[in-house]
Amino acid sequence: MGALLPTVFTTAGLIGGFQTARSTKNRQLGGAVLAAAGAAAFLGWKKNAGAGTAAALTATYLAAFGASHPLAKKMGAWPAVYTVTGATALASLLLGRKR
């Protein structure tokens, strides 16, 4: 799996999960998008950087999702989603590669 693919998955999961939940008014469907993308990212990180790093980056991904909710109250929903997505993508790019 390419080094950039897990970053694409996390971006798709956070932005796509939110958009899916918002447009369908079905939070569970949005969560399914988030989970599927996170699982795919985990597999990529595991292959590229090992299980420990994959676990840490998956925790970062989930923490970003959680942080987007209180952050949305301060800055709005889409700015919050974009902010946590950018932070997660940066972590993925910096840590999710073979050393």
Number of domains in the chain: 1
| 99 pLDDT tier (thresholds 50, 70, 90) | low
- At residue 77, does pLDDT exceed 90? yes
* Average pLDDT over every residue of 35-44: 98
DSSP 57-87: HHHHHHHHHHHHHHHHHHH-HHHHHHHHHHH
Residue 18's pLDDT band, with cuts at 50, 70 and 90, is very high
Query: Given this model, what pLDDT does residue 2 score?
Result: 81
The tokens of 28 are what? Answer: 């569970």
Tell me, what's the pLDDT at 97? 86
- Containing structural domain, residue 91: 5-95
Average pLDDT of span 36-50: 97
